[in-house]
Amino acid sequence: MKYFKYILTVLVLVAVVFLAVSFTIMNADPVKINLLPSVEVEQSLALVILISFVIGLFVGALLMSFSLIGQKLKTGRATRQLKKVEKEVEGLRAAPADQA
């Protein structure tokens, strides 16, 4: 089983490298990018697509981190409230009940 996982990992890695190389070869044409009206850059299409993809990953991760921070804050508040209520319940259980 250990070797199977290793072989599968190597096969997936070889497939990804093959796809990346074939993508680069098929998209090697140079393209012009106008960053500003006076700034023009010429790069291969594959590099432009790769840079755009990486920028998209970073923007997505940044937006996701804001959501994650909000969820952690909510979880912390709920945990503190739960501990407070559990402490109150333990206090009520320990108190003798008034019998009328």
SS3 99: coil
Rounded distance between C-alpha atoms, residue 83 and residue 24, angstroms = 56
Rounded to the nearest 5 percent, the helix, strand and coil shares of the chain are 75, 15, 10
| Structure confidence by residue, pLDDT tens digits, 7-39 | 999 999 999 999 988 988 888 899 998 888 888
Identify the domain containing residue 88 by its residue range.
2-92
pLDDT surpasses 60 at 51: yes
Residue 100 located in a structural domain = no
98: in domain: no
The count of structural domains within the chain is 1
Q: Cα-flanking dihedrals φ and ψ of residue 2, to 5°? A: -65, -40
Q: Is the pTM of this model over 0.75?
A: no
Note whether residue 97 is domain-resident.
no
Instruction: Tell whether 88 is covered by a domain.
Output: yes
Q: How many of the other CB atoms lie within 10 Å of CB of 14?
A: 10
